[in-house]
């Protein structure tokens, strides 16, 4: 009996320690998301839309305990992207080309609260891509009324490969259900779609911000160099004047 109690205490201590060191709930849910997407859900075409369901729990609410914390929306997108990557074979194709993918930028617009214990779904789809990145649109929708509670656009940047090559390879594949039954999906053209206007304006904003950040250190350095040059000139002038006065004396 004593041994059993000590074992239970030890297991509880390990769980508490894990929760203290890492966000255990996040990793467990990510594992479950990837497992279900890989082994339980059907494959989809790279340009298809995927859907994942979630619920706003008590750990997701803000300090007022009234609605889901704004930061949780972006966290939920991690699970939506993982589901999309697995079901479209996007991540597998990127890895096969010896590359990786990271999030380069994200923007989100909140339209209406998601209250505690509310079930919602996240739709994910690729809306545009260029040579180095592809752009995904995510929508938070409550099934009860079909209202879009929030909408996000994320830029996924590829590290060492061309996005056209990756997307083109996936576009030419036939979608299979559960890995063995062909779905009647026609092959689509690999032509890149037009950039949506909201993405175009957003990219302009990112480029302005990037240019400003690149120029800031240069401006500071230039000002420092000017101060050093001015100081050196003043020092040289003072030295020459002192030398002249000494010679005159």
Tens-digit pLDDT string for the chain (249 aa): 778 888 888 888 887 887 778 888 899 999 999 999 999 999 999 999 999 999 999 999 998 889 999 999 999 999 999 999 999 999 999 999 888 999 999 999 999 999 999 999 999 999 999 999 999 999 999 999 999 999 999 999 999 889 988 988 888 765 444 444 344 344 444 468 899 999 999 999 999 999 999 987 544 444 444 444 444 444 444 443 333 433 343
Position 221 scores a pLDDT of: 42
Q: Is 98 helix (H, G, I), strand (E, B) or coil?
A: coil
pLDDT of residue 13: 86
How far apart are alpha carbons 203 and 111 in whole angstroms?
A: 22
Domain-located, residue 168: yes
Structure confidence at residue 145 (pLDDT) = 95
For residue 213 the two structure tokens come to 């950040």
In the prediction, which pLDDT does 236 show?
43
CATH of the domain at 104: 3.10.129.10
Whether residue 28 lies inside any domain: the answer is no
**84 contacts 50 by C-beta, under 8 angstroms:** yes
Residue 227 resides in a domain: no
In a domain, 85, yes or no: yes
Tell me how many domains the chain contains. Answer: 1
Half-sphere exposure in the Cβ direction for 93 (13 Å, CA)? 22
DSSP 13: H
Burial label for 181, CB within 10 Å (0-12, 13-18, 19+), is exposed
The pLDDT of residue 174 is 53
- pLDDT attached to residue 14: 84
pTM of the model: 0.76
Enclosing domain of residue 167: 37-175
CA neighbours closer than 13 Å in the CB half-sphere of residue 123: 16
Q: Which residues of 65-93 are buried (b: 16+ CB within 10 A; e: fewer)?
A: eebbeeebbeebbebbbbbbbbbbbbbeb
């Amino acid at each position: 009996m004593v041994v059993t109690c000590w074992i239970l205490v030890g297991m509880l201590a390990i769980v508490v320690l894990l929760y203290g060191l890492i966000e255990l709930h996040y990793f467990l849910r990510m594992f479950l998301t990837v497992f279900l997407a890989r082994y339980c859900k059907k494959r989809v075409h790279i340009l298809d839309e995927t859907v994942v369901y979630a619920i706003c729990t008590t750990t997701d609410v803000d300090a007022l305990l009234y609605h889901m914390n704004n930061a949780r929306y972006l966290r939920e997108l991690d699970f939506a992207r993982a589901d999309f990557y697995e079901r479209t074979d996007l991540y597998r194709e990127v890895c096969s080309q010896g590359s990786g993918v990271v999030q380069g930028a994200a923007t989100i617009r909140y339209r209406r609260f998601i209250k505690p214990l509310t079930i919602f779904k996240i739709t994910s789809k690729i809306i545009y891509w260029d040579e180095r990145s592809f752009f995904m649109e995510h929508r938070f929708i409550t099934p009860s009324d079909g209202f879009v509670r929030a909408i996000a656009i994320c830029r996924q940047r590829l590290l060492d490969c061309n996005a056209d090559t990756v997307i083109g390879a996936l576009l030419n594949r036939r979608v299979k259900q559960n890995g063995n039954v062909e779905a009647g999906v026609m092959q689509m053209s690999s032509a890149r779609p037009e950039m949506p206007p909201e993405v175009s304006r957003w990219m302009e904003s990112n480029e302005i911000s990037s240019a400003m950040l690149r120029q800031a250190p240069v401006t500071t350095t230039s000002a420092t160099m000017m101060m050093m040059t001015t100081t050196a000139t003043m020092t040289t002038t003072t030295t020459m004047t002192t030398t002249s006065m000494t010679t005159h004396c």
